[in-house]
A and B are shown apart, each in its own frame.
Chain A
């Protein structure tokens, strides 16, 4: 959200006619870089929280009826998230982007869809209650 608010203003092609183009350009460049850094570190914080949350949810989910494979997937995503945070401290070339693709584009959607497919198993009492309250065909 920070990026959405700041970037279009920082890189807008409309400039002041006051004769200070160089100063304006440099200040905009600095704002863009600072906001980019804030965004990256907010994302790192999200990844750490995601890892902690997934470790918690993995145990809760399995106890509530999710398969052990889903628990292992949660742990793998948590571990890879922490690896992603660690990668920001090193120059790893395209591996950071590939890890991002793996987590956000493959593992997290699979995790979520797996959870969606088993939602009625995790809340069976309420699902049965709702089914019973439905009028008969």
Chain B
């Protein structure tokens, strides 16, 4: 993949992430604050109440589906952004090295080189 592709991919993923998270959050908030209608009140007949609740829930499904699908798209875009950081020109410290330096003691990272993305410098 050439250079223009890297920055273009990051830019595209970031836009997808921003738009999908924003719309998904707004739709979820509208559902949560019951803008499209409150759920049915619970009466004496519990089964009838559940039937009414399901009907109300089913009518709102298109909005719920859109919010869930957009959230999934945003998660995918966010997950795809991670490897792009590993491909950034700052190769002095890749993600694995940064993780090893900041999160794991030296001995621990050498015991578990596979987790940290590098071969051990010496055997434990």
Contact = CB atoms under 8 A, between A and B. Distances in A.
Are A and B part of the same complex?
A: yes
A122 B21 contact: no
A130 B61 contact: no
B55 A13 contact: yes
Interface string B86-124: 011110110100110010000000000000000000000
A16 interface: no
Given A11-B61, A13-B58, A126-B2, A119 B11 contact: yes
Contact of A128 (B3, B64, B72, B98): B3
A4 B69 contact: yes
Given A60-B98, A126-B4, A21 B47 contact: yes
Nearest to B51: A25
Interface in B1-42: 2-8, 10-11, 14-15, 17-19, 21-22, 24-26, 28-29, 32-33
Interface of B: 2-8, 10-11, 14-15, 17-19, 21-22, 24-26, 28-29, 32-33, 47, 50-51, 54-55, 57-58, 61, 64-65, 68-69, 72, 74-75, 78, 81-82, 85, 87-90, 92-93, 95, 98-99, 102
Contact of B61 (A8, A28, A53, A119): A8
Tell me if B's interface is mostly helix, strand, loop or mixed.
helix
Nearest to B32: A97
A60 B8 CA distance: 19
Interface residues of A, number: 51
Interface in A45-62: 46, 50, 53, 56-57, 59-61
A13 B19 CA distance: 33
Contacts of B15: 112-113, 116
A127 B4 contact: yes
A3 to B, nearest CB: 5
Given A26-B50, A112-B14, 18 more contacts: A13-B54, A46-B75, A57-B82, A60-B93, A64-B85, A64-B89, A97-B32, A100-B29, A104-B24, A112-B18, A115-B10, A115-B81, A116-B11, A116-B15, A124-B89, A126-B3, A126-B4, A126-B7
